[in-house]
Structure 1
Amino acid sequence: MTLNDAVSPDLAELAETCGVATSYQDARGVRQEISARTLHAVLTAMGIRTGDDDETGTAVRSALEDVRLRPWRRVLAPTVVARQGIATACDVHVPRGATVTLSVHLEDSADALDLGSPGAPLESRDVDGMLTDRVRVEIPASLPPGWHRLAVVLTDPPGATAGPGRSRTVEATLLVSPRSVPVPADLDSRRAVGLATQLYQVRSQRSWGVGDLADLTELAGWAGRDLGADFVLVNPMHSGEPFPPVEPSPYLPTTRRFASPLYLRPEQVAEYSALTPGDRRQVDDLARSRYPGNAADSIDRDASWAAKLDALRIMFEVPLSRERAEEFEAFTSEQGPGLHRFATWCALAAEHGPDWSRWPARLQDPESDAVAVFARDHSGEVRFHQWQQWLVAQQRAQAQQEALTAGMRLGILHDLAVGVHPTGADAWALHRSLARGVTVGAPPDAYNQRGQDWSQPPLRPDALAEEGYGPFRDIVRAALRDSGGVRIDHILGLFRLWWIPTGRPPTEGTYVHYDQEAMLGVLALEASRAGAVVVGEDLGTVAPGVREELAERGVLGTSVMWFEQQDDGPLPPEEYRRLCMASVTTHDLPPTAGYLDLAHVDIREALGQLTGDVDQERRDASLEIRSYSDAVRARGLVEGDTTEDLVVAMHRFLSAAPSLLLAVSVADLVGDRRPVNMPGTSDEYPNWRVPLSDSRGELVSLEDLVGAPGARLVVDAARGLSGLSGG
């Protein structure tokens, strides 16, 4: 056994102390051991020097001792997490003989709550030559939810080297979350049925080649008034590159806090109406130049974004009215330094390209003087990108208002991606919070037998705590702005993420654990304040107890029909979870018609993704589909043998589930067969660039969708309103 393979007891303890798994159970329930090479790489990414070429293990032992002493070397943990209604114990580390008093400073209040002094020491040890006591204080259960501050005032004991009687104050973030995300009361009496769509696919005659927020507004109005839908779930709308070319995947954005101006409809910007006739003609000509793109069998984001940028620059020159100027200033003030830093990155990207790692060294640190000088010297360009974010916020708010006006109970549900581009805006702005030298992905499972590498840098658990979970809070707040809820992609990442050392295959990664109490606490607090529902995509390899913990915190899970199986066939829908969003399919699978036609097997075979016998894979998939078609026929839910009949029947089958939310893919309304994404691929398949089409492969516009005869049939089946009844 080589050094890179062997895991010493000290290395194993160091990894486990830092939340790095030394083994895991794979999708088949088989225990897999993690190599020493992987552990060294992951620990290094967390800022821990392990000296992976040190055969004596001295570096590992030194790192282990340092990690053991970390909590003792600080008075308070950087973040203390509590739940409303539950008293929480908090450890404080103080020099022997010091006088200690504690208080809580409540959010949005000048008052402080005195917690008094802690009791007798629970434990003592020598820390860097100083006898240090661990004492405990109780955070009262009566504190309201909020982002509070916990303060400790220490007065040094007689004989202290710094002088007796010297006082100092140490503070920590005190996050008090509600016990759970409240579920809207009316969902208990009547489930919410809605649509799920990849917005860029839904193009109208006046789109600029990409489905946009004006299209979403029309889609939501139609779905609410004509179909009785309660929500529209859309793909992540996070911002991509500020200039073409644009990354096609909505799940690999440059930032998760700010939205993509690509989804703007320029003609609906208020300043459009104030353009001079000549400037308006220019904007109209740019729009008309992109109308042919709506008839193209591919989503061309680059051409659309280039035209919109030109139009937006023309409108940016229009002076804002006094009222609009005040609204803009209020928006930038509310968004604070985060927006300014993002807009600065956009301006820097215009001069140096979107890969910040290739910028001059003086500009790679967002807190450097050189960056501040650049932002000042390019204030107009910075303001242009701030202005775009303001426009997106306005058009998103209009879509949500139209959805609610049309009778939807929830309105727009936004999707939160699991990570960001490794060289994009967040990777630059959050450079102290992200791990380097690793990417996020997933271990092998039945659908991705080689595992997945999503090419995204993970947030460091220790850095999140140091920053009071502010980066994660800001991301969640942005997703919940002007929405009825959020779907969190791979919510299992709030518990653990699969870290893959750079340059290694996904099979050589390991899980890194996060403080789930803190992560779920942030989510519960922000969602309760927004009055929004939270749906967690909890598919894949799920650790024991995770789904139970999510349910306890009021977070809905995800049930995709094809994944809900038991030993003898499909799980009866009556046995689905109540606290979940159920659907027949998802964006990582083909639309239902395509799945029934084995499109997922055909494409994976063509791409060389299947590691086993292809014929056996096809037989297994056919048997799975037959088991579901037999199940719906046994209930008397289908008449006829066409694929379209089965699509409707399977939504009728799903209507028997007790799930609080039921999502119907817009692709299923028109019989689309092509998947929008094939996990585990990049350019081998046109991921995220496939437009909406019907069963014959002909393009479907928003106008076609609104008039599609099968749309109401599928939605009514999901609502349990169609004529057939189960036997």
Structure 2
Amino acid sequence: VYGLASTETGQAGDLGTLRQLFDAVERRGGRYVATLPILAQFLDEPCMFSPYSPASRLYWNEMYLDLGPLAAEVGLPSPTAPPIVPGTLIDHKAQYHWRRHVLDPIAERLAAQPAISAQVDEWAHRTNAYDYAAFRAVGEQRRTGWSEWGAPWRDGTPIIDTRQQAIGLGADGARLTTHVVAQWAMQRQLETIGGGAVGLYLDLPVGVNCEAYEVWRHRNLFLTELAAGAPPDALFLGGQNWGLPPLSPVALRRDRYRYFIRCVQHHMKVARMLRIDHVMGLFRLYCVPAGRPATDGVYIRYPYEELLAILTLESHRSKCALVGEDLGTVPEAVRPAMARHGLYRLHVGQWFLPSKIGNRPEPSPAESVASLNTHDTATFAGWWRGADIDDRRDLDLINADQEASERVDRDHQRAALLAFCGTPSDDEALTDVERAMVSATADLARGPAEVVLVALDDLALEPFPINVPGTTSQRPNWQRRVDRWSEALDADRASPAAAATIASVSTARTPH
């Protein structure tokens, strides 16, 4: 969502621009819009803007509120966003500060209206939102994560059920109001977006930040001396440490899975399809002890049949399809169990392109969600020019000989894919990379996958990736806007490549 910026939203997008994308997808006959996680984040002090390290899996990111309708509801003028400077990255902290400057008085006025105040209060009691809002208010007052707070807040207070209780314990009333009202408004706006003809496809991250609300409130459920990650492999010889405290399988079961159920239900109230990030984590999770390198991790095993049963039950109750992100090192038991419980697999088309002239891309499985790439891979334009190889060499993940070998392989793949495209017509104005992108996407759409996703970055031929796994400050992860996103699905303004891609997908996916 952050990539869908407009002149009204500032540096990053919001639910208003997301709604515009939904409208465009509906006009072109699409069924789903997929997003990265839109969960709560720490965007002030500390500022941690990876959507896969959320401040909670139970509450939304208030930065994405569509502020215009809320301002109109309380008689305030529409907010005027700072202009976007072309070519710059998103400064999440500055964007959040501007949006809070607008949101705070809106929340105050909404809370002052008796009818709305009663709605918010009733909703907050049902969702424990006062407890969460108090946690966020205290964090903003102290400008540190909870692990650095003094007693009694650091050590946990009784669950906070009311505004008066939170203020009595020292939470700032204005901040408390903003967070409670923002969560109520986010839920309302998301339910409206997700209730239309096009379904919302959300992403449930594998865990939360070590300073997250849940770790503070439900410390007994987490193994705080460990961090989830990934073992060493061909791409990351040193392994990966994601900094996410894993759930204790013993405590999770002793709690009768109530926390896990709440996380799932929170998403399924608004989503029509839910992607389970790193679905292998329902089976086993690679964890690194504090102070140890990522090569020294161990696997923790989870009661996957019970977790999958919960997912299946909640899926049925909410009429929300399930997708398991089954990429990377996948134990043998995972995919058969996914099939038994009705979870779709993922298929990444760029991994199955031909490398020999005369061959065609490998087809996706029928029970899958297919796309050319993911947020953790190169975009198609980046793949075409070998930007992912550049990255691995620059990060010392491959040596010079491996780099040379990969570039030869990529040359073969480009040649094979262009041969698969066929001879261009005399009046075709597309470049080679555009022809290849259109052809590869159309082939996915003609295949048996249940759902085919088309990335806005590919329609814009964006060369840079959303995220380079295993990097932090080395790469501007999660900070790029989507170039010309509003034009990509517009029949009159789309580029020739984007128009050809959407037309081919629409033709392939329309029942005849």
Same fold (TM over 0.5): yes
Where does residue 168 of structure 2 map in the other structure?
A: 376
Asked if the contact 1:258–1:389 (Cα under 8 Å) also holds between the matched residues in 2, the reply is: yes
Q: Structure 1 residue 388: deviation in Å?
A: 0.9
Query: CA RMSD for the aligned pairs?
Result: 2.7
Matched, 1:683 2:473: yes
Match of 1:300 in 2: 91
2:498 aligned with 1:711: yes
CA gap 1:524/1:609 in 2 versus in 1, 3 angstroms: farther
- CA deviations 1:612-648 (Å, max 9, x no partner) are 3234324324414633651562474876761111111
- Rounded to whole Å, the distance in 1 between the matches of 2:43 and 2:459 is 33
Query: Greater helix percent: which structure?
Result: 2
Q: Which residue of 1 aligns with 2:40?
A: 239
For structure 2, list consecutive stretches of 5 or more residues without a partner in the other structure: none
- The aligned residue for residue 357 of structure 1 is 147
Paired residues of 2:393 and 2:399 also in contact (CA < 8 A): no
Q: Compute the displacement of 1:257 (Å).
A: 1.0
Q: In structure 1, how many angstroms separate the alpha carbons of the residues matched to 2:231 and 2:353? A: 21
Normalised by the length of structure 1, the TM-score is 0.64
Secondary structure at 2:190's aligned position in 1? Answer: helix
Give the match for residue 553 of structure 1: 341
1:230 aligns with 2:31: yes
1:213–1:264 contact (8 Å) kept in structure 2: yes
Q: Mean alpha-carbon deviation: is it higher for 684-693 or for 254-263? A: 684-693
Correspondence list, 1:78-93, <5 A: none
Q: Distance in 2 between matches of 1:360 and 1:369?
A: 18
Q: Does 1:259 align with 2:60?
A: yes
Shift of 1:689: 0.5
Matches within 5 A, 1:614-633: 614-624=400-410, 626-627=412-413, 629-631=415-417, 633=419
* 1:206 is aligned to 2:8: yes
Query: Measured at CA, do residues 716 and 636 of structure 1 come closer, stay the same or move farther in structure 2, by a change above 3 Å?
Result: same
After TM superposition, give the deviation of residue 362 of structure 1 in Å: 2.1
What amino acid is the match of 1:498? Answer: Y
1:268 maps onto 2:54 in alignment: no
Structure 1, gaps ≥5 residues long? 1-198, 694-699, 723-727
Question: Deviation of residue 273 (structure 1)?
Answer: 3.4
1:637, 1:649 within 8 Å by CA — same for their partners in 2? no
**DSSP-derived class of the 2:47 partner:** coil
CA displacement 1:111-155 (0-9 Å, x = unmatched): xxxxxxxxxxxxxxxxxxxxxxxxxxxxxxxxxxxxxxxxxxxxx
Question: TM-score of the superposition, structure 2-length normalised?
Answer: 0.90
Q: Map of 1:40-119 to 2, 5 A cutoff?
A: none
Contact kept, 8 Å, 2:130 with 2:160, in 1: the verdict is no
Paired amino acid for 2:7: Q
Question: Do the aligned residues in 2 keep the contact of 1:592 with 1:673 (CA within 8 Å)?
Answer: yes
- In the alignment, is the contact (CA less than 8 A) between 2:460 and 2:498 conserved in 1? yes
Question: 1:704 and 1:531, CA in 2 relative to 1: closer, same or farther beyond 3 A?
Answer: closer
Does the C-alpha gap of structure 1 residues 370 and 593 become closer, same or farther in structure 2, counting only changes over 3 Å?
closer
Distance in 2 separating the partners of 1:495 and 1:470: 18
> Hey, what's the Cα distance between the residues in 2 that align with 1:637 and 1:440?
49
**Contact kept in structure 1, 2:43 and 2:49, CA below 8 Å:** no
**SS in structure 2 opposite 1:216?**
helix
Q: What amino acid sits opposite 1:666 in the alignment?
A: L
- Residue 398 of structure 1: how far off its partner (Å): 2.4
CA distance in 2, matches of 1:570, 1:309: 56
Q: CA deviation at 1:570?
A: 11
- Aligned equivalents of 2:243, 2:424: Cα separation in 1: 43
Q: Which amino acid aligns with 1:395?
A: Q
Residue-by-residue CA offset, 1:311-355 (whole Å, 9 max, x unaligned): 1211122155454334323322331x3x23211211210222341
Secondary structure in 2 matching 1:500: strand
SS of the aligned residue for 2:288 comes to strand
Query: Deviations for 1:162-219, whole angstroms, at most 9, x for unmatched residues?
Result: xxxxxxxxxxxxxxxxxxxxxxxxxxxxxxxxxxxxx211112211211110000000
Letter aligned with residue 67 of structure 2: P
Equivalent-residue separation in structure 2 for 1:332 and 1:294 (angstroms): 38
Kept in 2: contact 1:415–1:487 (CA 8 A): yes
Of 258, 266, 291, which residue of structure 2 is paired with 1:503? 291
Equivalent residue letter for 2:103:
L
Could you say which residue in structure 2 is the equivalent of 1:662? Answer: 452
Q: Secondary structure at the match of 1:581?
A: strand
AA matched with 1:357: S
- The aligned counterpart of 2:122 is 330
Letter in 2 for 1:714: T
Deviation at 1:594, TM superposition (A): 0.8
8 Å Cα contact 1:570-1:627 kept in structure 2 = no
Does the Cα contact within 8 Å between 1:439 and 1:454 map onto a contact in 2?
A: yes
Residues 315 and 323 of structure 1: CA distance in aligned 2, closer, same or farther (over 3 Å)? same
User: Equivalents in 2 of 1:298, 1:209: separation in Å?
Assistant: 8
SS in 1 for 2:237: coil
Q: Is the Cα–Cα contact under 8 Å of residues 446 and 508 in structure 2 kept in the other structure?
A: no
Within 5 Å, give how 1:475-486 maps onto structure 2: 475-486=263-274
- 1:645 corresponding residue in structure 2: 435
Provide the rounded CA distance (Å) in 2 between the counterparts of 1:571 and 1:503.
Answer: 49
Does the aligned pair in 1 maintain the 2:380–2:458 contact within 8 Å?
A: yes
Alpha-carbon distance, 1:263 to partner = 0.4
Summarize the alignment of residues 524-673 of structure 1 with structure 2, pairs less than 5 Å apart.
Answer: 524-564=312-352, 575-606=363-394, 608-610=395-397, 612-624=398-410, 626-627=412-413, 629-631=415-417, 633-634=419-420, 636=422, 642-673=432-463
CA contact (8 A) 2:382 2:463 kept: yes
Could you tell me how far apart the structure 1 residues matched to 2:377 and 2:229 are? 18
Give a deviation string over 1:455-497, Cα, whole Å, max 9, x none: 1101110010010001111111111121211111111111111
SS in 1 for 2:330: coil
Tell me if structure 2 keeps the 8 A contact 1:257–1:478: yes
SS in 1 for 2:275: strand
* Cα separation, partners in 2 of 1:442 and 1:568, compared to 1, 3 Å: farther
Mapping of residues 19-34 of structure 1, within 5 Å? none
